[in-house]
Amino acid sequence: MAFDLKRVLKVMLFASNGPLSVKDIQTALTRFHAQADGLPLTGESETPAPPPEAVEPESAEADLPPPVEDGEFYRDVPSLVPAVQIREAMDLISTELRAADSETLLAEGHNGWRLVTHPRFARWVRLLRNEPPPARLSPSSLETLAVIAYRQPATRAEIEQVRGVSAEAGLNKLLERELVYVVGRADLPGRPIQYGTTEAFLEFVGIKSIDDLPASDVLSPRQIDAWLQSANQPRAATDADMGLDENETPAEQMTLDEGGGAKTT
């Protein structure tokens, strides 16, 4: 049996304690060739096996398929598998799991792939672990998180100027959930704290990097900069802002007389 990349990846995904990256897979192949001299590549063991007539299989094992020699799984192992080939094999595994309506799915994150349970079975996992249902973020926290994600690094004052309300409660909740963290301090008077998103945010949203966020003209840095600039440099109200006709002359506009009544001059 020749080397089967897809089957090997399935085993690695099952045995991995965390996300499995391209580098992890390529490192395992490198270790294989480094230890090749010590592996039973020919299917021979150090101690000779007893003759077949001397082996009496137990009744419980009588129906099991015959064992496969280890050496059959270590033939034609390439010294290096390109990242493109690994991704193609992972995509094939993911497609097969979805087509089979499997209880597990293959999820790709910013640091690799991992097997996850299907969302419809999440409740059973929580019951097994005796965990409470996941708490949902409030709309205000989601708005604050969106501004930070698109603007980052962002200060609290910038967030509040965009949203128009206090961001203290939302920031505290996001920090508690480890969805945002303190990046540093802005080079502004008072050295305000700047916030950015964490790796947990990428998993929360289901993307590999910030660059994968959907394009947004409303929350783009350029649009937010324009809002902040207009907020910091308010202009005087014009006739159009007050609902007056800009084409009318001052003599044609309404004025108030001393008695409080309105008259046209």
Q: How far is CA 265 from the centre of its chain?
A: 67
Q: Which domains does the chain have, with CATH numbers?
A: 5-45+68-126 (1.10.10.10), 139-232 (1.10.10.10)
Q: Report pLDDT digits (tens) over 40-83.
A: 544 444 455 555 555 555 555 555 555 545 555 667 788 888 99
Share of the chain above pLDDT 90, in %: 27
pLDDT for 232: 54
Q: Comparing 58-62, 138-142, 205-209, which segment has the lowest mean pLDDT?
A: 58-62
Confidence check: pLDDT of 233 > 90: no
Q: Mean per-residue pLDDT for 93-106?
A: 92
d(CA 167, CA 103): 40
Q: Mean per-residue pLDDT for 240-253?
A: 57
pLDDT for 128: 93
Q: Identify which has the larger pLDDT, 63 or 120.
A: 120
Q: Report pLDDT digits (tens) over 4-22.
A: 899 999 999 999 888 899 9
Q: Comparing 60-64, 109-113, 205-209, 222-226, which segment has the lowest mean pLDDT?
A: 60-64
Q: What is the pTM of this model?
A: 0.56
Residue count of the chain, please give it.
265
Q: Mean pLDDT score of the chain, rounded to an integer?
A: 77
Q: Identify which has the larger pLDDT, 164 or 231.
A: 164
d(CA 205, CA 138): 15
Cα angle, residue 195 at apex, residues 189 and 196 outer, rounded to 5°: 140
Confidence check: pLDDT of 153 > 70: yes
Q: Which span out of 7-16, 49-58, 105-114, 136-145 was modeled with the highest average pLDDT?
A: 7-16
